[in-house]
């Protein structure tokens, strides 16, 4: 397994891997639940092909793992490495957002 490098995995806030890790940070989910959750919190509709492409890459890198399931709808959960990568990425995005808000003279809280 490759060592997780946040810059190589998570590039933009609306990249499918970022959205999937963010969704799984709230708990394990299967594909459909992931798609619905992502649409709810980010307003991004990921198609099945895109979603499973990202799941494949994240699992390859050890950032998520599949849970045992008898159902075809296999749930995934974020790993410790995935949580670390997401934390680094979120901190970076937060830093940029804070700079943007500061330069605009607005509070990040008012944008939520």
Partner 1 sequence: MTASDAARLLRWYPAAWRERYGDELVALMEDELGGRDTSIRFRLSIALAGLRERAHGAGIVGRGASAAERARAGALLVLCAWTTFVVAGASFAKLSEHFDAAVPRASRGLPGGAYRQVQIVSVVAAALLVVAGCCVLPAFMRFVRRGGWSLIARAVWQATVSSAALAVAIVPLAAWAHHLSYGQRNGTDAAYSAAVVAAAALLVAVLGLWTRAAVVAGRRLELGRGVLAAVSSLAIGVAASMVAMTVGTAIWWAVMAEHAPWFLHGTPAGSGGSPFNPQLAATMALMAASVALGQYGVARIGRSWLELRRATP
| Contact positions vs partner 1 (CB under 8 A) | 2, 8, 30-32, 35, 47-53, 55-57, 60, 71-74
What is the spatial distance between Cα 99 and Cα 108, in angstroms, rounded to a whole number?
A: 10
Q: Give me 98's structure tokens.
A: 């804070």
Angle at CA 11, nearest 5°, toward 7 and 12? 150
| Residue (27 or 48) nearer to partner 1, CB | 48
Least distance between partner 1 and beta carbon 97 (Å)? 29
Place of tokens 């594909």: 31
What is the spatial distance between Cα 67 and Cα 76, in angstroms, rounded to a whole number?
A: 6
| Residue (48 or 100) nearer to partner 1, CB | 48
DSSP-assigned letter for residue 107: -
| Residue (5 or 95) nearer to partner 1, CB | 5
| Residue (70 or 110) nearer to partner 1, CB | 70
Least distance between partner 1 and beta carbon 93 (Å)? 23
Least distance between partner 1 and beta carbon 47 (Å)? 5
Least distance between partner 1 and beta carbon 61 (Å)? 9
What is the spatial distance between Cα 7 and Cα 28, in angstroms, rounded to a whole number?
A: 24
């Amino acid at each position: 397994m490759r060592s997780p490098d946040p810059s190589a995995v998570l590039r933009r806030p609306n990249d499918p891997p970022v959205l999937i890790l963010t969704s799984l940070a709230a708990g394990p989910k299967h594909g459909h639940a992931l798609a619905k959750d992502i649409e709810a919190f980010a307003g991004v509709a990921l198609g099945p092909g895109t979603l499973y492409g990202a799941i494949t890459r994240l699992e390859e890198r050890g950032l998520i793992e599949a849970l045992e399931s008898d159902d075809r709808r296999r749930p995934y959960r974020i790993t410790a490495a995935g949580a670390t990568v997401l934390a680094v990425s979120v901190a970076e995005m937060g830093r940029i957002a804070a700079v943007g808000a500061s330069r605009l003279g607005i509070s990040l809280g008012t944008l939520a």
